[in-house]
A and B are shown apart, each in its own frame.
Chain A
Amino acid sequence: MTRSVKSNAMDQSKQEDVPRELVFSKMERLIREMQNPETGVPVRSQKLFLTSIPCAFMGYDLVEWLMDRLDIEDIAEAIHIANILCQHGYFFPVNDTKFALKDDSTLYRFQTPYFWPSNHQPDNTDYAIFLMKRTLKNKQKHGLEDYEQEALARLKKLLCHKWEFVCMQAEEQVNLAKERKKTDKIVLDSQEKAYWLVQRPPPGIFSCLERSPIANKQTTKKAKTKEELKKRVEFFKQYICKPRTRLRQVLESLILRCKEYADFDPFISGAQPSNPWISDDTTLWHLNNDLVETPTEKRVKRWTISLEELLADPTGVVEFEVYLRKEYSYENIRFWKAVQGLKRGSQTGIADRVKDIYEEFLAAGAPCEVNLDSKTVEVTQELMRSPSRYTFDAAQEHVFSLMKKDSYARFLRSDHYKNLIRNAQQTAQKKKFFNFGASTRKKSSPAAGTSKRRNSGSHMTNSTVDLSLTRQPSVERPFTGKHSHSTSDLQDLETPSDKLSCSRLSSPSVSRDRVNDTVRSTLQVPRGSQRMEHSSSSLDETSSNLSLAVPRRTRNLVAPWELED
């Protein structure tokens, strides 16, 4: 397809930055393969009602070809890719202005390579010529839409200095076109129209050819000077001699880590009691606040993985400190925390803080003297000559490893830790009892266990007893073995106002529950766990794939007064 005056538009593709070229060349390779007469998508004159439409192919032919060529199993993926190709303008629907690909016998036509988005940059002049041509032709078939008329008016003002040229070009092209065969004309016209629909989309339709605001991403080519090359040689020499871990060990450790943390990953083992994003119940977040009185069982178990995990959890740090105080090794953790503060603090006053830390923890006869070996002390004192935030790094590492080998190991075996686990488990147990409406005898022991946390003990235990009694008749649904929401309600019931706020959290769903009983069944197994079911079947380990079917009804049982409101 020849255009007489297009030289100004020709080489603008060179402006494009490299990354986009890569994806365009990939797309274009695919399109070229599609257009191969033998192995590509079958293109021919299609018959639609009484008219014959030249050079078109059907939607499902394309989808089938894509699935074959790209090894796609899921048809949705193929349709999605086809849609993207369409939006970029590589093909277009013959009878529609909306650029989407449907998997049926809708007809599409390929865009000529001249008009491919990477080859040809749109120019205002070209657009003006195109619009003018349409006005010169048959009004019915080629009339301008509103937005196009506005554009034409705008361009007239913009290009007023060469408007004559534009009109001349338009006329010339219209005359040239008259000499073509009818089918050619139809095809070329449709291609040109599609091109401009992509490049100058009607209002309300975004253009997928939008670019990021970074015009040129620079890559400095390293100069091939002698010094540069010498540096590269040095680098490679060091690289070869660097100590490295063997690949197999590395992979094994990655696998081990995934296994270890699978329990703590909500995408694998579900969130207890429920994923707040799905069930609208924020219990999970309350339970896992930074500082809680009773950490959940999972959380306490996570501390056994490593000292780092323990120190990363603020509640863990608090519990560890309580333990260390009892053991009279409190100064280690305090030193560690002080150095963290130094590292992360502001630049001003560093010298003072370094001095303070030294005097409190490291000087001979210091009030909280920390146990350091002589080498570390030497290194630290050397560094103290020029105090910085990293002065105590060596000392901190030493203390950390001390804590790890000694205090941390003992902490995990200690009574304090065992108590934590027991309390965490008890709060889980309590819910079980409540759900089954067990006998009063059992109820009293958990109440006693948690009563130490109650400020106003008596009236709280009264209320817990009440709840269990009212629950008796309504236990039709079996306990699903997961934590229900009652834990949080009871746990956070330290003050009456807390209780109210918790129940208020659950209340919005109460009315919804009664209305949408049938709908809820579809909501109970979120998309997430369905995905995970697919993946867990391909995993070798038995990940506990809990279906998060924690019904809201149990919450009503905990706060029965809600139903009466």
Chain B
Amino acid sequence: MPTTWVMACAYAPSGNMVACGGLDNKVTVYPLSFEEDASSKKRAIGTHTSYMSCCLFPNSDQQILTGSGDSTCALWDVECAQLLQSFHGHGGDVMSLDLCPSETGNTFVSAGCDRQALLWDMRTGQCVQSFEGHESDINTVKFYPSGDAIATGSDDSTCRLFDLRADREVAVYSKQSIIFGVNSVDFSISGRFLFAGYNDYTVNVWDTLKCVRLTILYGHENRVTCLKVSPDGTALSTGSWDFTLRIWA
């Protein structure tokens, strides 16, 4: 992407494609190969009316789910570059998406600047549940590994756990000494640990069940903007505005 900011990227499940987008409002797909330069074969799948803040492949190489600053989410077909379903309901920019981890699930959750997290049914495009409670923009949302709960992180410096079955907030992870916003959260494999990356350059590790902070990881020299636990759960990787990616094990 020559001139504009890239805000989101995602790997296809097969590992053969990458989707990315950002301030150019477009969803672009790059097929990966060793022989050719990826950017020669890129395709624009769709366009939003504002920046694209997050994207992911919902368990398939053929579809892409995106969230945008125009407060909608959209499901696109890769091959035909068609819009399959759009999801309206947010009152502000959508900042983050996550797909339900279950093999038989058809739902995903999105969260945004309207301080709400919404659960959507991919088949019908309807909002199935909504969660409020944050006092400022929600920057990130992640499903609990069982798919029964979601964790959100916000600029109000708290992370919250909302349970889908109880349809309410069940835990708040905050401390007086944390005043900077959360940019990204992720769970460990069992769901016992919640890792959160903050704007004060640290990663805090929370005990999900006891709501206590277990430890702080220092090391980055600028805000931590993205964070993910490896699929086998052996390590945590973080990316930051200090131009580095770090792996913690």
Contacts and interface: CB of A to CB of B under 8 A. Distances in A.
25 contacts: A22-B155, A22-B156, A27-B179, A71-B177, A80-B200, A80-B202, A214-B51, A214-B69, A218-B71, A245-B165, A247-B163, A250-B163, A254-B149, A254-B209, A257-B146, A257-B148, A262-B190, A265-B189, A265-B193, A266-B234, A268-B190, A344-B58, A346-B78, A528-B248, A538-B212
A265 B190 contact: yes
A250 B193 contact: no
Contact of A18 (B7, B104, B136, B232): B136
A81 B249 contact: no
B163 A254 contact: yes
Top 4 A-B pairs, shortest CB-CB distance = A344-B60, A277-B249, A261-B190, A265-B190
B233 to A, nearest CB: 5
A501 B22 CA distance: 42
Interface string B89-108: 00111000000001110100
A246 B155 contact: no
Contacts of A81: 177, 179, 200
Contacts of B207: 535, 538
A344 B249 contact: no
Contacts of B144: 254
A397 B222 CA distance: 47
Given A213-B5, A277-B234, A535-B214, A218 B69 contact: yes
Given A265-B190, A308-B102, A346-B79, A19 B137 contact: yes
Interface string B233-244: 111000001100
A76 interface: yes
A242 B167 contact: yes
Given A244-B167, A277-B235, A535-B214, A219 B92 contact: yes
A353 to B, nearest CB: 12
A250 B179 contact: no
Contacts of A343: 60
Given A277-B234, A526-B249, A251 B222 contact: no
A271 interface: yes
A245 B210 CA distance: 21
Interface in A298-330: 308, 311-312
B94 to A, nearest CB: 11
B215 interface: yes
Nearest to B179: A26
Interface residues of B, number: 81
B32 interface: no
Given A257-B191, A258-B208, A262-B192, A244 B155 contact: no
A340 B62 CA distance: 13
A390 interface: yes
A220 B91 contact: yes
Nearest to B205: A531
B199 interface: yes
A208 B199 CA distance: 10
Nearest to A70: B177
Interface in A27-80: 27, 30, 66, 70-72, 74, 76-78, 80
Given A244-B167, A258-B208, A266-B233, A219 B114 contact: yes
Interface residues of A, number: 79
Given A210-B241, A247-B166, A284-B232, A275 B249 contact: yes
B180 interface: yes
A262 B71 CA distance: 38
A217 interface: yes
A379 interface: no
A78 B216 CA distance: 12
Interface string B155-173: 1110000010111101000
Interface in A359-403: 390, 393, 396-397, 400
Contact of B189 (A74, A208, A261, A278): A261
A23 B170 contact: no
B189 A264 contact: yes
B45 to A, nearest CB: 12
A528 to B, nearest CB: 6
A247 B181 contact: no
A288 B232 contact: yes
B226 interface: no
Contact of A80 (B170, B199, B218, B247): B218
A542 to B, nearest CB: 14
Interface in A464-489: none
Nearest to A340: B103
Interface in B21-52: 23, 51
B220 to A, nearest CB: 11
Nearest to A526: B249
Nearest to A258: B192
Contacts of A260: 190
A292 to B, nearest CB: 13
A390 B207 CA distance: 38
B113 interface: yes
Contact of B166 (A18, A80, A250, A393): A250
B200 A84 contact: yes
Given A217-B92, A218-B71, A275 B234 contact: yes
A70 B202 CA distance: 17
Contacts of A397: 104
B22 to A, nearest CB: 8
A165 interface: no
B110 interface: no
B82 to A, nearest CB: 6
A30 B192 CA distance: 33
Given A72-B177, A254-B208, A397-B104, 9 more contacts: A217-B92, A218-B92, A244-B167, A254-B148, A275-B249, A308-B103, A346-B77, A347-B80, A528-B249
A534 interface: yes
B200 A70 contact: no
Contacts of B69: 214, 217-218
A253 interface: yes
A390 B78 contact: no
B191 A219 contact: no
Contacts of A344: 58-63
B188 interface: yes
A114 interface: no
A258 B206 CA distance: 14
A534 B214 contact: yes
B104 A218 contact: no
B235 A275 contact: yes
